[in-house]
Amino acid sequence: MNSRWPMLFLGTAMLALFVFGLFSGPAHLAWSEEWSALLGTGGATAETIMWQLRLPRLVTAVLSGAALGLSGLLMQTFFRNPLAGPGVLGVSSGATLGVALVALGGASMGGVTGIWDMGPQVMGALMGGGAVMALLGLVMGRFRSRTALLIFGLMVGYLAGALVTVLQAGAEAGALQAFVHWGMGSFAHSGWASCAIMVCALTPAVFWSWRASSSLDMWTMGALTAATMGVDERRLSWTALGMAGVLAALVTAWCGPVAFLGLATPHLVRAAGISGRHAAMLWPVVLTGAAVALLADLVVRLAGVPLNAVLSLVGAPVVLMLIVGKGRIFSKVRNR
Amino acid sequence: MKGKMMCSGLTLRHPSEGVGTLSFALSAGTALVVVGRNGSGKSTLLKTLAGLLPARAGSVSMDGVEIAAMRPQARARKLAFVPSTPPRGTVLTVQDVIELALEAGGHQADATSVEQSMLQGGVHPWAQLPIDTLSDGMAQRVMLARAAAQSESLILLDEPTAFLDVVGRREVMADIGQWLNVGKAVVLATHDLDAVQESGWADRWMVMRSPSQGGAVLPDEAFSSHAAKSMLMGEE
């Protein structure tokens, strides 16, 4: 499918959701107030609402959705597994453990209070997510089947979850409450600084995915064939895993372990009839991830339900349908 | 015509006993059939020739350049490789695969060249189908078309007919015959001695044996499945 219509549609949808999100909210500002606040000529309160609350939240949603979608796409391509994603493979869990170590362990020891504090938390998430990604990279040659990879990720998730529970049990009440709240997922607690860092991570990841798209395609034909088609196996592996891991970990640091976006976004794109080579999937996946994140955030704001509840309520049935519905996700694919 | 492969004093890393030292040259338009029992080192030989495994000693070169010293991209322009099983679990269509192959080989990957490569490989009717939906035989022919699109000079095949039926085997052997006609060099590791004999193009051959059985040999006489079988069974 080479038509430009899907991209145009996705772009428009994203823009519409963004604008709608920007001009709606509980503050009941008038249109003119909102507009002048955006231009910097409005009242101080309105300006704070627009520039410090709504805009960073929307930009965070766009960047996080795009990052998770790309992370999921990279993992599905790299592991040749349609069910791979940052959640399923335990990367989000690893990042969560890293955050828990900083936010719960750190809070009880050194009095680091704010769960939304940037520096240490980001380091924790990157190290936790990165550790799981590195582990996957090291053992992936040993997986005899696709399901083995998924079960491996699931078990890593359980393990990280158990350690998080241990940390929670020993945590001080305030830190625990903040951590649980963080775990529900939200785009509301990140600021311009984290958006800037996200851009710094997302831009090279998109650029690399574009440049390396042929290598990633060759990779899906098997490591041996890819290597004889000119793919540098080690470089491709570590770059793909590294980028997918960093993107997922960064989102986790600021927005919590956001459910399903990474796994489901590439499938939403495929369901829309766009599939095939990596380059054809890249932009639709990035845009769809952003649009879905905006839509989910809108539901969060209108219905007052936590982000992960919204995403799971939609994401889980989508994946179930993929597995059971047409039976397409596994039946076509033999375990080799 | 380019595409001359030289092996000198080559010792493989596997099997542990080795097959002795290999020295041979292969020029454009010729084929080398490699036969040997399971585990005799056929795959190791092919991977070493492809530059994927380092040799224990000796060297492999293409047109005077040592394979092991080439970067993967440069190597992909010199030679292509076909493993015994076609890929599974990829979303690529036949056309995608051919496009990628032309790109890997450093050729123009425009619509005309893709079309032409698919026609030459006889995979044109399935152009838009994902290779995952093809049978093993069809998918393997796509992999042969891929190798042919990628490399003008040397193609290495590791038991490409292992999972194919009689017709599929014959088609693969016929494809190889066509490549030889247009000047490609071929190294084929196979157990399919009768299909090779039947194809008629087989000339040079190599028997992989352990040193206790006399080591690897490149018989002077032309390939015959009868001679190959008796050498494999140790009745010289």
Neighbours of B236 (CB within 10 A): 9
Round the average pLDDT of chain B to a whole number and report it: 90
More confident residue, B235 or B9: B9
CB-CB: which of B81, B85, B100 is closest to A228?
B81
* A7: closest CA of chain B, how far (Å): 21
Q: Tell me, yes or no, if A80 comes closer than 8 A to chain B by beta carbon.
A: yes
Q: Cβ contact (<8 Å) for B100 and A146? A: no
At B235 the pLDDT is 58
Would you list the domain boundaries of chain A?
A: 5-32+61-331
At B193 the pLDDT is 92
The dihedral through the CA atoms of A7, A10, A14, A17 has a sign that is positive
Could you give the C-alpha distances from A150 to A144, A322, B20, B52, in angstroms and in order?
Answer: 12, 16, 44, 29
Helix boundaries (H) for chain A? 5-22, 31-39, 44-48, 55-78, 91-100, 106-110, 119-139, 146-169, 173-183, 192-211, 213-219, 223-228, 233-255, 261-271, 278-303, 307-320, 328-331
Amino acid, single-letter form, for residue B219: P
User: pLDDT of B112-122, one tens digit each?
Assistant: 999 999 999 99
At B171 the pLDDT is 92
Strands B31-36 and B65-66: unpaired
At B16 the pLDDT is 67
Assign B218 a pLDDT band (cuts: 50, 70, 90). Answer: confident
Listing from the earlier edge strand, what are the strands of the sheet with B31-36? B79-82, B154-158, B185-189, B31-36, B204-208
Identify residues of B whose CB sits under 8 angstroms from chain A CBs: 50, 52, 71-77, 79-81, 83, 85, 87-93, 96-97, 100-101, 103-104, 132-133, 143, 150, 156
Tokens for B55? Answer: 């040799």
Tokens for B48? Answer: 């070493």
Q: Going by C-beta distance under 8 Å and a sequence separation of 6 or more, which residues neighbour residue A192?
A: A56
Amino acid, single-letter form, for residue A104: L
The C-alpha atoms of residue B171 and residue B190 are separated, in whole angstroms, by 15
At B215 the pLDDT is 80
Residue A188's closest CA among A69, A313, A57, A21?
A57
Burial label for A105, CB within 10 Å (0-12, 13-18, 19+), is middle
At A332 the pLDDT is 42
Tokens for A335? Answer: 């375990």
* A332: closest CA of chain B, how far (Å): 7
The C-alpha atoms of residue B104 and residue B81 are separated, in whole angstroms, by 12
* A202: closest CA of chain B, how far (Å): 25
Q: Give all domains of chain B, ordered by start, each with its CATH number.
A: 5-232 (3.40.50.300)
CATH number for the domain running over A5-32+61-331: 1.10.3470.10
Q: Cβ contact (<8 Å) for A334 and B85? A: no
Q: Cβ contact (<8 Å) for A276 and B75? A: no
* B209: closest CA of chain A, how far (Å): 25
By C-alpha distance, the chain A residue nearest B43 is A224
Contact list, A333 vs chain B (CB under 8 Å): 88-89, 132
Tokens for A171? Answer: 């945590």
Element housing A111 (H / E): none
Tokens for A301? Answer: 């704001």
User: pLDDT of B33-61, one tens digit each?
Assistant: 999 988 888 999 999 999 999 998 899 99
At A334 the pLDDT is 37
Burial label for B178, CB within 10 Å (0-12, 13-18, 19+), is middle
**Under a CB-based contact definition with an 8 Å cutoff, are residues B173 and B199 in contact?**
yes
Residue A254's closest CA among A304, A298, A202?
A202
By C-alpha distance, the chain B residue nearest A227 is B72
CA atoms within 13 A of residue A175's CA, in its CB half-sphere = 22
More confident residue, A272 or B176: B176
Residue-wise pLDDT tens for chain A (336 aa)? Answer: 456 788 888 899 999 999 998 888 877 788 888 888 888 887 888 888 888 889 999 999 999 999 999 999 999 999 888 889 999 899 999 999 999 998 887 654 444 445 555 678 888 999 999 999 999 988 887 887 778 888 999 999 999 999 999 999 988 888 888 899 999 999 998 889 899 999 999 999 999 999 999 999 999 999 999 999 999 999 999 999 999 999 999 999 999 999 899 999 998 888 888 878 999 999 999 999 999 999 999 999 989 899 999 999 988 888 888 777 654 544 444 333
Q: Going by C-beta distance under 8 Å and a sequence separation of 6 or more, which residues neighbour residue A8?
A: none
| Residue B186 DSSP one-character state | E
Contact list, B75 vs chain A (CB under 8 Å): 228, 230
User: pLDDT of B77-121, one tens digit each?
Assistant: 999 999 999 998 888 999 999 999 999 999 999 999 999 999 999
